[in-house]
């Protein structure tokens, strides 16, 4: 393994540095990002004022221990207003605080991002599950926008809607901010129709199901709950959450599982997932919303099927890699080991267990006043 020498010049990246094809490593059907040096910037909050720089990081950023932050300040990897400070330095409100890190992004599944339509104003793609749409949290290069820039030279792109990281399917991206605003205005005014498909537990009813339940997303828990609309004697709502409506139509069923067409009228966080749960037919591999409300027979069917799914997913990952000509197997020697990094020598950051799988929820169609974009069905949509 190559190791950074003490005198080795470090190249720090910022959001202005675009992802490039050579930034990625492919191994066992997984797409990794080679670790890189990055400047994380924050501005001191009022409640931080008066704290020493080390106390601030130890109290507010608990992902690393105090000894690390002490060393990072002494070595200049933590700076205030662009300057190195002593560990006893007390922070003032609104100061710029920089933390220079050897950044390890979480890996994603190595499926291709298929470009469905490449037009003058709009690009549409089939987003694979596990890949976030745009930079967020620990993800920057391992995103749809980043990969399209690195592998298809498509930039800049402006997503006009979002898909959760574990959801696959149609993603529409505008070529300009003004074009994106046009699409978003149409979505906000309710003239855009959206269709998803889901694979759910059990035999879904044959007649259309309309779910009108308010959705309340708990950011701390990362999940939503639903409740019916309640009003007081004055006619004012006493319910939590936001009004939400989804229409569901069964496409087919084999008794244990059903393929369901989902038409969300509103766009709340986890709306389709939690509305399906409320019908007693949650998405069949959605562990976040599988509940005891499922009958025992259906749960046994899900449990028996889950092991086969994991085996199938592994096969798909391997096949995806075999079919991607630009994805050779790389070794750990392809990146430098940073002596201060708390994640090296691994590619994935600490805490990533690599066991997640994509949800059986797929966006298939968006249509507006004078446009329609579609995405092919995934393999799991067949019950044969």
Tell me: pLDDT of 309 over 70: no
Kindly report the CATH class assigned to 36-103.
alpha beta
The pLDDT of residue 312: 37
Tell me: pLDDT of 96 over 90: yes
pLDDT digits (tens, 9 = 90+) for 34-57: 999 999 899 999 999 999 999 999
For helices 66-75 and 53-60, the axis angle rounded to 10 degrees is: 140
Report the C-alpha gap between 260 and 381 in whole angstroms: 9
Which residue is listed with tokens 């191994």? 27
CB atoms < 10 A from the CB of 13, how many? 16
Q: Please state whether the peptide bond connecting residue 345 to the residue before it is cis, i.e. omega within 30 degrees of 0.
A: yes
Q: Return the sign of the alpha-carbon dihedral for residues 335, 131, 156, 136.
A: negative
The pLDDT of residue 11: 74
Averaged pLDDT, 177-183: 95
- List the structure tokens of 229: 């609309």
Q: Pick the catalytic residue: 164, 181, 286, 379? A: 164
Higher pLDDT, 127 or 322: 127
- The SS3 call for residue 312 is helix
Averaged pLDDT, 260-284: 96
Per DSSP, 27 falls in state: E
Q: Model pTM?
A: 0.82
Quick check: is 181 catalytic?
no
Q: How confident is the model at residue 86 (pLDDT cuts 50, 70, 90)?
A: very high
Averaged pLDDT, 176-205: 95
Higher pLDDT, 90 or 17: 90
Higher pLDDT, 237 or 199: 199
On the question of a common fold for 36-103 and 109-299+359-381, the answer reads: no
Between β-strands 361-367 and 168-174, what pairing exists: parallel, antiparallel or unpaired? Answer: parallel
Residue ranges of domains in the chain: 36-103, 109-299+359-381
Look up the CATH architecture of domain 109-299+359-381.
Answer: 2-Layer Sandwich (3.30)
């Amino acid at each position: 393994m190559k190791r950074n020498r003490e005198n080795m010049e470090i190249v720090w990246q910022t959001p202005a540095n675009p992802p490039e094809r050579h930034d990625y490593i492919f191994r066992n059907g997984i797409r990794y990002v080679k670790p890189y040096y990055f400047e994380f910037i924050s501005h001191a909050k009022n409640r931080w004022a008066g704290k020493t720089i080390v106390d601030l990081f130890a109290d507010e950023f608990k992902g690393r221990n105090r000894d690390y932050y002490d060393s990072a300040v002494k070595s200049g990897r933590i700076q205030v207003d662009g300057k190195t400070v002593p560990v006893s330095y007390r922070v003032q409100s609104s100061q710029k605080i920089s933390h220079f890190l050897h950044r390890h992004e979480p890996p994603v599944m190595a499926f291709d991002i298929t470009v469905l339509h490449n037009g003058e104003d709009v690009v549409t793609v089939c987003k694979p599950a596990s890949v976030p749409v745009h930079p967020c949290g620990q993800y920057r290069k391992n995103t749809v926008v980043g990969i399209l820039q690195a592998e298809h030279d498509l930039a800049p792109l402006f997503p006009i809607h979002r898909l959760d990281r574990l959801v696959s399917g149609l993603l529409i991206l505008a070529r300009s901010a003004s074009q994106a605003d046009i699409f978003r205005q149409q979505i906000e005014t309710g003239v855009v129709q959206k269709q998803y498909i889901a694979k759910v537990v059990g035999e879904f009813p044959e007649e259309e199901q309309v779910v009108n339940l308010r959705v309340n997303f708990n950011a701390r828990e990362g999940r939503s709950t639903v409740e019916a609309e309640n009003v007081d004697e004055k006619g004012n709502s006493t319910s939590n959450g936001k009004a939400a409506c989804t229409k569901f139509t069964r496409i087919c069923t084999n008794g244990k599982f059903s393929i369901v067409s989902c038409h969300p009228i509103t766009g709340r966080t986890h709306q389709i997932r939690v509305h399906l749960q409320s019908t007693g037919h949650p998405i069949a591999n959605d562990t976040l919303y599988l509940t005891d409300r499922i009958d025992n027979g259906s749960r046994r069917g899900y449990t028996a099927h889950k092991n086969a799914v994991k085996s199938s997913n592994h096969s798909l990952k391997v096949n995806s890699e075999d079919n991607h000509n630009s994805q050779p197997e790389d070794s750990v020697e392809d990146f430098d080991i940073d002596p201060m990094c708390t994640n090296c020598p691994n590619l994935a950051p600490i805490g990533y267990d690599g066991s997640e799988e994509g949800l059986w929820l797929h966006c298939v169609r968006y249509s507006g006043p004078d446009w329609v974009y579609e995405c092919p069905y995934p393999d799991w949509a067949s019950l044969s």
